[in-house]
Structure 1
């Protein structure tokens, strides 16, 4: 009699755990693939100074770069979906899953609405409305990625993941802020561009590491449940 009561509850729970493992794993790998494609574009066009320029209209790297940005959006949403089954474990003020979902949607918009040639700063000479849309969503997505890092950094789970999040958060914050200041002050664009690429790579890699960590946690829970 006990078995007939428990089976309908246990099987759906195991199915959800299995799905969470798959979505988190695919999300993590998608993030690493995104970073790889962006660096392929970077090596393809070494003269490009800033990340978004790789996806600008008429750039030969645009199809690959925008695919990479869409992959990052998919990675964020998949990791978000895998966290839903964790309940309140990843909640700091609000759910980390919510942060990742909005972050992914921002990158998805940025991958579709690309910069105009040269990717000018919004409201400057030659800038078009699409530049404002792309840069706004790309920056918001990047900021939300940093917020997610901060949330994970204070969650009392997996000390090594907390340490990775803190180190990445600081590194991304310093490099991205320095790159932005150099750009705004019309400084050395080569240095600013390298800092921006470094910040983007670290942030994307964090998505990959976090996704695989969530998948590992789900596997462990499944094993312990048997």
Structure 2
């Protein structure tokens, strides 16, 4: 019963965190990276940080309640996600190979990529363990994330990469919330 309550808490927290990120990102231009919303001076950097920290906590709660191979990538994602919220990029979030980046930008980008990548790996592990919802999520999310990575390297900043990044992140957040909801419906284990 306690694991259902933790999963329900994760679902609510994940949904609220996703909404906070939408609030933070919505005023920005589509050709900006999502992380640009967290830079001091943007309209809602506190919403961005709270959303990121909330997603880190959501992943942590899911790692704790899952108790399967899915828990490992989620648990490792937690500090990466939290660090990506703590270390913001500089204005404009410049990324190589087309822009001059600082060490701060590279640290933020690396932890963000690892956090999202580990969540995507957890999604794949859940699909492998038989979660139909996770199989659908993999089918949707993985191509979006791959296209985002290719777009950043091949094209650089632009509306295409901005839209792909947003869609991939939305798919990850929807999976976290959906997976949490799935865990609330799972029959309790007996030892």
How far the C-alpha of 1:60 sits from its partner, in A, is 2.4
> In the alignment, is the contact (CA less than 8 A) between 1:42 and 1:48 conserved in 2?
no
Answer whether contact 1:176 1:199 (CA < 8 A) is retained: yes
TM-score, normalised on structure 2?
A: 0.90
TM-score, with structure 1 as normaliser: 0.77
Aligned to 2:48: 65
Aligned to 1:132: 106
* Cα distance in structure 2, aligned partners of 1:132 and 1:122: 9
Change (3 A) 1:192 1:100: same
Aligned partner of 1:202 among 171, 178, 189: 171
Q: Pick from 77, 84, 102: which aligns with 2:60?
A: 77
| Structure 2: segments with no counterpart, 5+ residues | none
Alignment: residue pair count: 190
Rg: which structure is higher?
1
Runs of 4+ in 1 over 3 A off after TM superposition: 122-126
Cα contact 2:30–2:158 (8 A) shared by 1? no
Distance in 1 separating the partners of 2:159 and 2:21: 17
Query: Which of 134, 140, 155 does residue 171 from structure 1 map onto?
Result: 140
How far residue 123 of structure 1 moved from its aligned partner, in angstroms, is 7.3
Gaps of at least 5 residues in structure 1 are 1-17, 85-89, 157-161
Q: What are the residue-to-residue correspondences of 1:87-126 with 2, within 5 Å?
A: 90=68, 95-122=69-96, 125-126=99-100
Alpha carbons of structure 1 residues 125 and 49: separation in structure 2 relative to 1, 3 Å: closer
